[in-house]
A and B are shown apart, each in its own frame.
Chain A
């Protein structure tokens, strides 16, 4: 029995680092990535991209899309942190994986990279539609650009596009400027206007359009100009990140290495921007960048440290929150000046910008409005490229208690005076009526007056 225990504990201690080496709120970077391919040739033809991922520390697991053994989860636990779909022509996945499984995978906070291509299967299209983008319905359509194409030896059909219309966000595509245009060859897609979360990262030029390059254009193309997105990302509400592109060859070694010259431009780059662009973007997708966390949300009255169960109107309070950004290896303080807190009840009563101490601690102090009710401290921080912070903490605000009002109000002094003078004035007729000159006990008479004053003052809470 004891022996088993030793083995069990030993095996646990050996396995523990591996078990923990996965995505978690504490270390949000993805580690285990499943790559689904149409055939294993892609593994070698796109090895540069995969190698760059491996260098970043990702653990890639290559499977064929129709491998009957693939599974995303086992016993309710997800086996992977991210999924790369490099299988544009897969009609169905093997094993238990289907569209719903992939969507559930994303909805439980995991990341996804989809690369489609010309003749993308309905399956891939469906996954993309669920994520808020629509590929061109014509299966053989490609993005064609007669002005923004990449110059090559043979005058082709201008489907190889050199685009440098990037999203303006250092968080998403890295702080280092991408000098060379990115080569793209494949199918275009448009963003669903209803979806507010999907973003165009690489856009086609205004002169682009989507059509079948082999046939003559008889009807106007359905997708034209900068409505065409070449690469899009989605950051879901649970901060899962999705990358969608219509070109698998973007990731290929050939595109990574080839030089590029954009038509109409004299500069010729030795190397296309693909490697830098896609590696940086993948880093973002896998939460190496732009991942914030807010911890230690605290609030208390100014001068106190304990958090009260409820506040009183007009209390001075202090609100504190620590915000950190994940650098890929550790949590670094997130320093900015645009984090705001709302004191909210149906509408914000107080809206204050938090100040920070450069070490991640944000704080602000303000006065509770003169309104009672159930308020919330709300921080809704949504910045392009960063995970959204949505903190809300409910706190009731009560009115004054009966004994918390001011006892004496300066404006009421005439009334106090009036009350006492009435007492004094009333006393005189009472004295006339009740005063007995024969009374031996003068003391009693004056004491009754004092008693009267005393009772009156009690009544008036003086």
Chain B
């Protein structure tokens, strides 16, 4: 400013730097966008373009229905092929966001004359949204820190295994879209709080609506945001901006969320949503008090008024809640919510939740596996956030801390924590690298323009003087910078390795290494479902454990008794009881459910460990939870679960054991082992002479992974 000629000279150059910076930023973002997409394509390259796992098959089936029959039929769809004979109102019991999104993309592509199959759209929806998430992460990072942190956050989240685990190509599940919606809603809300703009508040309400339509995890948003607002109120950061942002987001978001049939009136009737409502009323009280304070000049009088008002407000709120709870208008917290707050709750009360492996408490190793260096950068980032406390950083700190707690409670919630961890770590990385580069560059600058600095930057001068006191500063900074880059490159390597090794398996097609290091593919599931589709009558009912329900209806197109939408515990318990009873008793249950085929998954030949025998104790527990005739100790020997000669007699003769090991006793599975050697359990089975009376083997896949039995009609002459 002092020297106008130099500034005039530098002006075009300066502009150019900004343009360059913009160019670099945009190109980095583009590359990250592409990287996030292609790193999720391992599974397509390794296997094929197919839907993975269990739930995605239901989503795929419903999306197919949506594209074929239109939205209204989808909305009113009563599916009588699942939960026989109860049926399921699909339109009213799902979050339609994912299906509608995929169908819209499909329509758009067809409008643009790309004749793609809906399956391809479904397979690539999750990677596409992961790419979009990186953009949101960039803007979010920019909002809470600076654009550098935003860029780092975008890169970190693009490859973070915690997120990739749920968003690889083919993982067509709600979470794939929902994490985008979650982060987007948070971003818009923080933006609204920062600007106090009604428009951003409205945008965040719509973001929330999309999240509600996509995933049940929206409960996290509707509890975290009030908590955040409450913290701001308590710390004296109440502002008009906050008032506008929260009220707009809450009221509109609530009204919009009610349009989702599955959610309905929960926002005003369920205990899980009451915190948001309480904070909403608290905001009004604050606003009112502010106004009164403005009107009253006497501070003492105001203090008195404040006390009375707050007491009354709290009392009225408490009474309203109490009356609501007592009259049953407000439903109490659900078991799922309890199990989040108290990790031991599900184990004792809801075996059906505890039986799912992704609902188990997280092991340290999986944190390390999913976050790698982010685990160490996270506390550092928290430190930086606390150092520069603002409304935005308070939000990200709260998001990070609460989601980390939930990630510790349930494995699958690592997913929710991932964006927060990435953002906070990005702050740490960005701030550190920036400080270090500033150190490196400031020294040069000091050397160059030491005389001309004048009054422009007192800070730089103080730093420069500090620098001179430490002679190895530059080298140290260099070393630290290299260290940081080394760590980040390790992170990139780790992420790629994890993605390719652990998270790109479709789990419907299994791969193993053969004796000569070659890859062996077990495609037994699809073989079995194809068999069902081709060889059974169209109205045949198939009984299996609920894990396989969605796949049977989607791929085999046959009616199932129970499926992965575990809405009716009694029905599942009935199936569990049938599986854990003797054949005669099971036959009665099977007949009463009009079952034609029974399907079991067996890994004894291939050594596939997540088969029905290993899940069997859960069937016993869930069955026993409703029908006390099934007792867990009957299946154990001294508290030990075994299938060999020392197994409990009931275990050796229950239906599941018989169906799994039928004809297995005569089979040689491994060289040097006796016939009937179970490779998944590593033991020789205890009951090799299995006779079936009411069922007969109908089909066993080539590797024995899926075994299908036909239920015989009752004896003709008896």
Contacts and interface: CB of A to CB of B under 8 A. Distances in A.
Contacts of A394: 539
B17 to A, nearest CB: 49
B282 interface: no
Contact of B716 (A194, A196, A236, A402): A236
B86 interface: yes
B718 interface: yes
A194 B584 CA distance: 14
Interface in B61-117: 72, 75-76, 78, 80, 84-87, 89
A372 B84 CA distance: 11
Nearest to A103: B717
A196 B718 contact: yes
Contacts of B715: 237
Contacts of A195: 717-718
Interface string A40-59: 00000000000000000000
Contact of B717 (A236, A346, A399): A236
A238 B80 contact: no
The interface centre, meaning the residue of B72, B76, B78, B592 with most chain A CB atoms within 10 A of its CB, is B78
Given A346-B592, A398-B78, A401-B76, A373 B718 contact: no
B236 interface: no
A373 B80 CA distance: 7
Interface string B675-718: 00000000000000000000000000000000000000111111
A396 interface: yes
B545 to A, nearest CB: 20
A351 interface: no
Given A310-B80, A394-B539, A396-B78, A373 B716 contact: no
Contacts of B89: 372, 399
A396 B82 CA distance: 12
A432 B126 CA distance: 51
A234 interface: yes
A132 B75 contact: no
B87 A130 contact: no
Contacts of B717: 103, 106-107, 130-132, 195, 197, 234, 236-237, 242
B37 to A, nearest CB: 37
Contact of B80 (A132, A396, A402): A396
Interface residues of A, number: 30
Contact of A237 (B86, B87, B716): B716
A16 B362 CA distance: 77
A167 interface: no
Given A372-B87, A396-B87, A132 B718 contact: yes
The interface centre, meaning the residue of B72, B76, B559, B713 with most chain A CB atoms within 10 A of its CB, is B76
A374 B80 contact: yes
B174 to A, nearest CB: 22
Interface in A202-255: 234, 236-238, 240, 242
Interface in A357-401: 372-376, 394, 396, 398-399, 401
A366 B716 CA distance: 34
B557 to A, nearest CB: 16
Contacts of A375: 85
A346 B718 CA distance: 24
A374 B84 contact: yes
A99 interface: no
A70 interface: no
Contacts of B559: 374
B66 to A, nearest CB: 15
Nearest to A240: B716
Nearest to A392: B594
Interface string A264-285: 0000000000000000000000
Contacts of A240: 716
Nearest to B574: A346
Interface in A81-107: 103, 106-107
A402 B72 CA distance: 9
The interface centre, meaning the residue of A103, A106, A372 with most chain B CB atoms within 10 A of its CB, is A372
B78 A399 contact: yes
B716 A372 contact: no
B84 A238 contact: no
A378 B714 CA distance: 18
A132 B89 CA distance: 47
The interface centre, meaning the residue of B559, B592, B716 with most chain A CB atoms within 10 A of its CB, is B716
Contact of B85 (A106, A346, A401): A346
B75 A373 contact: no
A374 to B, nearest CB: 4
A333 to B, nearest CB: 29
A373 B85 contact: yes
Given A396-B78, A396-B80, A399-B78, A238 B716 contact: yes
B716 A107 contact: yes
A27 to B, nearest CB: 22
A242 B716 CA distance: 12
B97 to A, nearest CB: 18
Contacts of A131: 717
A60 interface: no
B76 A106 contact: no
A402 B718 contact: no
A374 B87 contact: yes
Contacts of A402: 72, 75-76
Contacts of A294: none
A171 interface: no
A345 interface: yes
A373 B714 contact: no
A240 B84 CA distance: 32
A317 B235 CA distance: 66
B43 to A, nearest CB: 36
A345 B85 contact: yes
A197 B85 contact: no
Contacts of A132: 717-718
A194 B78 CA distance: 43
B71 to A, nearest CB: 11
B76 A373 contact: no
B64 to A, nearest CB: 19
A346 B592 CA distance: 7
Contacts of A398: 76, 78, 80, 87
A426 to B, nearest CB: 15
Which 10 pairs, one residue from A and one from B, show the smallest C-beta to C-beta distance?
A396-B80, A398-B78, A374-B85, A401-B76, A373-B87, A236-B716, A374-B80, A345-B85, A107-B716, A236-B717
15 contacts: A107-B716, A130-B717, A196-B718, A237-B717, A240-B716, A310-B78, A345-B85, A346-B85, A346-B592, A372-B89, A373-B85, A373-B86, A394-B539, A396-B80, A402-B75
Given A197-B717, A396-B87, A402-B76, 10 more contacts: A107-B716, A237-B714, A242-B717, A310-B80, A373-B80, A374-B80, A375-B85, A394-B539, A398-B76, A399-B89
